Chains A and B, each alone.
Chain A
Amino acid sequence: MHAHGLSLANINKHFGHFHALRDIDLQINAGELVCFLGPSGCGKTTLLRIIAGLEQQDRGSITQNGRDISALPPRERDFGIVFQSYALFPNLSVFDNVAFGLRSLKWAKAAIKTRVMSLLDLIGLADQARKYPNQLSGGQQQRVALARAMAPEPGLLLLDEPLSALDARVRQHLRREIRSLQQQLGVTTILVTHDQEEALTMADRVVVMNHGVIEQVGSPLEIYQQPASAFVADFVGAMNFVDSTLTSTQQAQVGEQLFNLPSPAGQQGSALRLAIRPEEVELCSRSGDSLPVVVEQLDFLGTYIRSHVHVPSLNQRLIVDIDPRSARALNLALGQHLGMRLPANALRCFAA
C-alpha cells in the first residue's frame, strides 16, 4: 500500500468567540502513527475533524501527499475513520459493513469478497462475517470498525478516541493490535486521545495540545523526559513543581536551599519553576547533604508506593514514588523523619 504524508499550515478555527484552534502547523510523515493528546476542549478532536473535512477551518491549508485538500468535502478526501461509538451500521452484517466503502468504489463482487475476508482474517473475525454488530462484544465491534475504515485502502487513518468505550483489559489488548495492524499496513495514522498511557505506548510521535495550540511535538520519550512546557510536564505523567529564584544563571534558590541546575536557565534574579518526576526523587536516612522530610501519606499502588512527604525547608509537599524494595530498606512508615535528595540532572526548569 502506498502511504501518504500530511501537512497542516496555519490552521485556525473559531466557534463563535471561542478560538478553538490557533495557528496550527504540523508535518505528519508517511507511515507514522501520530497521537493528538490533550485534555478535553483542547481542540484535538476539532483538528481531526478538520483533517477529515467534517469541519471547515477558517484559515489555513491542508496538503495530503502534495495535493491541496483544504476545500474538498470529506467524500473527495482520502481517509478512513473510526469513532469512539464505532458507528457500525446495525442493520448490516459484519461483512456488509466492511464491504460498504468498497461498494461505493464499485469494486467487482469477487474482489470485494477477497478483500473483506482477508481483512476479517487479519482482525481474527473471519468466522463472524455473517453476524450483526449487536451480536459482537465491544472490542470485536471496534475491530470491525477498524476493518471497515481500512477496506478501501485509505492513505490516512483517523482514530477518534477509539478505545475510550472499552474496559481496561480489552483496551490494552486492542492497543497492541491496532499498532501492529497499522505497522503491517504502513498506513499514516492519527489517533486522538486524552489517555496519556495510550499515547505513550502507541505513538511514533505525540502532539500535546492545550487551549487550541500545540504545546509540544515529539517522541513519547522526549515528551516524557524533556517536556517543553510546564503544561506538558504536568499533563504527561506526574510531576512535582517548586517555585524558586535564580541566584546565578545556573543556580536556583528555594527557601534557604540552593540547587545546582543542569544547564543555564535565565538571568539572575528571575523567577523559575523547578520540576522533578516523583520517581526521580531520592529518599534516604537523614544526613548532612539531604533535606529533612516527614512522611505524611502512603498509597500502595502495586508495583510502587506513592508517598507524600512534607518538606519543611521548602514549605510544601512533594510526591515521591518508591519501589517496594527501597521502601523495605528504609522501613518506610507514616510520620517517619527521612532525608531527601533532588538529583540535579533530573531537575527541569520552566519560566514562572
Chain B
Amino acid sequence: MKLTATAAHAPFTLPLSARQREKLFWALLMLLALAAFALLLLGPLYSLLSKSVADGSGQFVGLANFNAYLAGGGIQRGLSHSLWIASSSMLIVVSLAFACAWALTRTRLPLRGVIKALLMLPILAPSLLPALSLIYLFGEQGIFKSWLGDTSIYGPLGIVLGSCFWTFPHALMILLTAMSHADARHYEAADVLRASAWRTFFTVTLPNARYGLVSAAFVVFILVFTDFGVPKVIGGNYEVLATDIYKQVIGQQKFEMGAVISVLLLLPALLAFVADRWVQRRQAASVTARAVPYSPKTNRRRDLTGALLLSPVLGFILLVVGMAIYASLVRYWPYNLDLTLRNYEFGRMDGGGWSAYANSLTLASLTLLVGTSVVFFNAWLSERTPQPKPLLALFQLCSLLPLAVPGLTLGLAYIFFFNHPANPLNGLYGGMAILVMCTVAHFYSVAHLTALTSLKQLDQEFEAVGQSLRASRWRMLRQVTLPLSAPTLLDIALYLFVNAMTTVSAVIFLYGPDTALAAVAVLNMDEAGDTAPAAAMAVTIMATCLLAKGVHCLLSLWLTRHTQHWRGRA
C-alpha cells in the first residue's frame, strides 16, 4: 500500500536505494567534468586531427597533407631543427640544473635561499624576454657581438641560449625535489665504509637523482620542442616546427598544413610524456621506508666547488634579466644611451599598448579564479568522492593529457573546433572567454597534479569519520578539506596566474581585436621593429609576475602565522 502511494506521488523516482542515489549524484558531477574536458580538449584535438587528413574544402584525403609536407622538405627544415634544438638545450639545461641543485642541497653556502630565488627568476618572465635580451647582448649591435666572431646569434645558437634561460627553473625545481629527498643514512654508510667523495657521488648521489634527471630531461625537451616565442624572435631564417606552423597559418592561411605540423609537434611530445609517466611510476615503486633527512656538514672545499658551479649560471641569468631591463630604459640603442621611460609609453606603438596589458591582467586573474576552483574541485571529486572506476580512469587520462599537448597545437585545435560554423559556441571566438578556457586547459595538468598530491596527503579516513558524524561531503569540503588545502590553493593560483601572464603559444591564434595580450604585444612590437618597447613590455610582464609572487609570499606567510597553532612545527 505504502509503496503504491509513494509511486503515485513521484512517478519518475527511480527505484534506487539511498546509497545508489548518492553514488549517482557524484558520478553525474564527474560526468560534468568529463563533458568539460570533451569540450575544451578532446573536441578541439579531434577537429585538429581530422583537419590534418582533409583538404582545403574538407574532403578526406588520407595522409596526402603529410606526404606533401615531407616532400616539401619539412623534415629537413622543421623537424630535424626542432629535434636538434630540443636535445642540445636539454643536455645543457639538465647538466647545469643538476650542478646547481647539487650545490644548493649538498653544501652549506650562505644565502642559498636568495640564490635559489634568483635562479628561479626566469620562470616569471615570458620566453620572449631572453630572446630580446640576447639580441641586445649578441645581436648586430650587441655589446658582446665580437665574442661570437662570425657566428650569428640569430639562429640555432640564439634559440638554444634563450631556451636554456627560460627552461632552467623547470629542470631545477624537479632536481631540487629529487635531491632533497636524500637519505642521510646512505651518506653515513658511505662514510663509515670509507668511500671517497667521488665514489659517494657516483654510488649515492647520482643514482638517487636518476629519476629526477630523466624527468627533468623529458620536461625540458618538451618545453623547447614545442616553444614558439624564442625561435620566433631570435631564430632568424632557422625554421623550427613551431615557427613553421605560425607561418603556414598566419602567413599563408594554409590551415591543413598547420594541422599537419601540429600533429608532428604533438607526437614526440606525447611520446616523451608517456615515457616520463612510465619512469615516474617506477620511481613511486622504488620509494622505501621513511628516510632520515640529509643535512650537509661544513666542508670548505665542497662549498667552494658549489660556488664555482653556481656562479656562471647565476651570472648568465642576471645578465639576461639585467640587459632586458637596461635595454627597455635606453632612449635609442646603441647611439643614445640616455635613460628614459619613453619605451613604456605603449600607447605610441602598435600591438595593443596598455590595453593589451590590461587584457593580460584580466586573462590571468580569470584563469586564476576559474582554473584554481575548477582544478581543485575536480581533483577533490576524483580523490574524495565515490566514483566508478571507468569514469575515474577517463578523468585521470584527460587531466594529464594537456601536459603532452603543445600550446600552438592546442591553440590551432581551438580555431578548428570553435571557429567551425556548425559549432554553436563559435561566437566565443576572439573573445576573452575562449582565451580563459584555452589557458585553463593548457596549464591544467601541473595544477591538477599539485592539487592531487596535496589531497592524497590528507588522512584517507576523514571522509569515513565525516559520514559517521552525519556531515555531508560539502560540509567536510568546507570545514576540513579546504582549510587544510589553503597553501596548495595559493600555489596553484600563482602557477596559473604567472603562466597566463607569460604564455604566447596557445593564445597567439585566439586573440581578437579587443583582446590583444601583453605577451603577444611583445611579439608584434618586435616584429614591427620596436625592439625596445618589446623589451619594456616583457619587463613589465616580469615585474607583474614578480609582484604576484610577492603577494603569494605575503599570503603564505599570513596563512602560516594564522594556522601555525594547528599545523605545528611542520
Binding site for B on A (CB under 8 A): 52-54, 56, 71-77, 79-81, 83, 85, 87, 89-93, 100-101, 104-105, 132-135, 148-149, 152, 154, 158
Interface bits B459-476 vs A (CB < 8 Å: 1, else 0): 101101101111110010
Interface bits B465-508 vs A (CB < 8 Å: 1, else 0): 10111111001000110011000000000000000000000000
Q: A73-B19, A132-B565, A134-B566 are in contact. List 16 more A-B contacts (CB 8 A).
A: A52-B464, A54-B464, A71-B17, A71-B20, A72-B17, A72-B19, A73-B467, A80-B469, A81-B468, A85-B459, A87-B461, A87-B462, A91-B480, A92-B480, A100-B469, A132-B568
In the complex, the answer to whether B461 meets A101 with C-beta atoms within 8 Å is no
| Given A83-B464, A87-B464: A135 and B470 interface contact (C-beta under 8 Å) | no
Measured CB to CB, the closest approach of chain B to A25, in angstroms, equals: 23
Q: Which residues of B, 9-64, contact A by the 8 Å Cβ criterion?
A: 17-20, 22
Measured CB to CB, the closest approach of chain B to A301, in angstroms, equals: 29
Instruction: Give chain A residues whose Cβ lies under 8 Å from the Cβ of B465.
Output: 81, 83, 87, 148
In the complex, the answer to whether A90 meets B467 with C-beta atoms within 8 Å is no
In the complex, the answer to whether B468 meets A74 with C-beta atoms within 8 Å is yes
A interface, over-half SS:
loop
In the complex, the answer to whether A90 meets B464 with C-beta atoms within 8 Å is no
In the complex, the answer to whether A89 meets B468 with C-beta atoms within 8 Å is no
Instruction: Give chain B residues whose Cβ lies under 8 Å from the Cβ of A135.
Output: 565, 568
**26 contacts across the A-B interface (CB closer than 8 A):** A52-B464, A54-B464, A71-B17, A71-B19, A71-B20, A72-B17, A72-B18, A73-B467, A75-B472, A80-B468, A83-B461, A85-B459, A87-B459, A89-B480, A90-B484, A91-B484, A92-B566, A100-B469, A101-B468, A101-B470, A104-B470, A104-B475, A105-B470, A132-B566, A134-B567, A152-B470
In the complex, the answer to whether A73 meets B22 with C-beta atoms within 8 Å is yes
A135 CA to B568 CA, complexed, in Å = 8
A71 CA to B464 CA, complexed, in Å = 16
Interface residue from B459, B461, B468 paired with A79 (Cβ < 8 Å): B468
| Size class of the B contact interface (CB-based, 8 Å) | 20 to 34
Q: Which residues of B, 549-570, contact A by the 8 Å Cβ criterion?
A: 563, 565-568
By beta carbon, the residue of chain B nearest A76 is: B18
In the complex, the answer to whether B566 meets A91 with C-beta atoms within 8 Å is yes
Instruction: Give chain B residues whose Cβ lies under 8 Å from the Cβ of A74.
Output: 464, 467-468
Measured CB to CB, the closest approach of chain A to B505, in angstroms, equals: 40
Interface residue from A81, A87, A90, A100 paired with B471 (Cβ < 8 Å): A100
By beta carbon, the residue of chain B nearest A135 is: B568
| Given A73-B18, A81-B465, A85-B461: A91 and B471 interface contact (C-beta under 8 Å) | no
Measured CB to CB, the closest approach of chain B to A149, in angstroms, equals: 7
Instruction: Give chain B residues whose Cβ lies under 8 Å from the Cβ of A132.
Output: 565-566, 568
Instruction: Give chain B residues whose Cβ lies under 8 Å from the Cβ of A100.
Output: 469, 471
| Given A73-B18, A92-B480, A104-B475: A133 and B566 interface contact (C-beta under 8 Å) | yes
By beta carbon, the residue of chain B nearest A104 is: B470
A90 CA to B468 CA, complexed, in Å = 18
A120 CA to B333 CA, complexed, in Å = 75
Measured CB to CB, the closest approach of chain B to A148, in angstroms, equals: 7
By beta carbon, the residue of chain A nearest B22 is: A73
Instruction: Give chain A residues whose Cβ lies under 8 Å from the Cβ of B461.
Output: 83, 85, 87
Task: Give the 10 A-B CB pairs with smallest separation, nearest first.
Answer: A101-B469, A74-B467, A104-B470, A132-B566, A71-B17, A87-B461, A134-B568, A73-B19, A91-B483, A81-B468
A93 CA to B563 CA, complexed, in Å = 12
Instruction: Give chain A residues whose Cβ lies under 8 Å from the Cβ of B462.
Output: 87, 89
Instruction: Give chain A residues whose Cβ lies under 8 Å from the Cβ of B475.
Output: 104
A152 CA to B22 CA, complexed, in Å = 23
In the complex, the answer to whether B566 meets A75 with C-beta atoms within 8 Å is no
